[in-house]
Structure 1
Amino acid sequence: MMKQLMNKSVVFGVGLLVSVLTLNVSAEVAVVVNPSNESTVDIEAVKDIYLGNQKSFSDGNSALVLFQQGDAGEEFSTKLLERSSSQFKAYWAKRTFSGKGKPPKSISTSSEIKEMVASNPNAIGIIDAKEVDASIKVILLQ
């Protein structure tokens, strides 16, 4: 009886340790635009832009939508769009196939997105908040 109790305690302790060690530490994600972009963009507009329901900023300029692959993209999809990255890809596959739009341009690094946003006044992108600098303007932190 005592041995079973100890075995259960050890199993519980190991399980708890594994759970703690595998916790996903979420990164803060910044939605960024070119500093010259004076458009009003709220959380709903960001969602609509990334889901293809809105194709331009409030000033009428078409948005060049950039999506960062990896942790920042996963965090953005999960928290803001309320869907996993695979659900986001499936959503866009369906929209593309039905002719309802083109998905955001997929970019692999924050530095590439920063360069593209800094050089294009109509670009909007998501990056890890730690990567923000003066070359871009943050419109939303998530």
Structure 2
Amino acid sequence: MNKLRWSIVLGLFVLLMYGNAHSFAREISIISHKDYPSGTITAAKVKEIYLGEKIAEGTVKIKPMEQNDESIKKRFIEKVMGSSVDAYKAYWIKKFFQEGITPPTAKTSSSDLIQAITQTNGGIGYVWSDDVKGDVKVLLKIDVGN
């Protein structure tokens, strides 16, 4: 009977630990203006957009936006862009001065970014998935871990 009790306790402990680890996983949604020509996007295309390499989707000029919130910005740059924040900033400084290309527009919060995207044809950005609200299109969801 004692072994059975310990097995049950251990099983419950494992379930609780798995449940807690899973519940804290974060997900970033790549969102766009509702009239964005594509219904989905790949992580590789997102990277091209945020490196200034892909500037249009069909006839629509893409207007990337990012967040000033360091927690989501860091996760996005590390997980999606495959870079560090410092290297990403250095890339854009070089791109701006050498090619005259402007980096993505920064917004102060998810709600500001969502509002700007709803008002900007070709607007695209990233927010925590649980912040998605309003009249935007979710193009991609990316698990960025805990």
Q: Is the 8 A contact 1:48 1:54 kept in 2?
A: yes
State the Cα distance separating 1:28 from its structure 2 match: 1.6
- One-letter amino acid of the structure 2 residue matched with residue 135 of structure 1: D
Q: Is the 8 A contact 2:37 2:60 kept in 1?
A: no
Of 38-47 and 109-118, the range deviating more from structure 2: 38-47
State the Cα distance separating 1:26 from its structure 2 match: 6.1
State the Cα distance separating 1:136 from its structure 2 match: 1.0
Sequence identity (%): 25
2:37 is aligned with 1:38:
yes
2:91 is aligned with 1:84:
no
Q: Is the 8 A contact 1:117 1:125 kept in 2?
A: yes
Superimposed CA distance per residue, residues 60-109 of structure 1 (whole angstroms, 9 cap, x where no aligned partner)? 21111101122111111000100112211111011111125111111120
Q: Is the 8 A contact 1:27 1:71 kept in 2?
A: no
Q: Is the 8 A contact 1:26 1:75 kept in 2?
A: no
- One-letter amino acid of the structure 2 residue matched with residue 41 of structure 1: I
Q: Is the 8 A contact 1:29 1:126 kept in 2?
A: yes
* In 2, Cα distance between equivalents of 1:106 and 1:134: 19
Aligned to 2:28: 29
Unaligned runs of 5+ in 1: 1-24
Which consecutive segments of 4 or more residues in structure 1 shift more than 3 A? none
- One-letter amino acid of the structure 1 residue matched with residue 119 of structure 2: S
What TM-score, normalized to structure 2? 0.74
What TM-score, normalized to structure 1? 0.75
Q: Is the 8 A contact 1:34 1:137 kept in 2?
A: yes
Q: By percentage of residues, which structure has more strand?
A: 2
Over the aligned positions, Cα root-mean-square deviation in angstroms equals: 1.6
Aligned to 2:118: 118
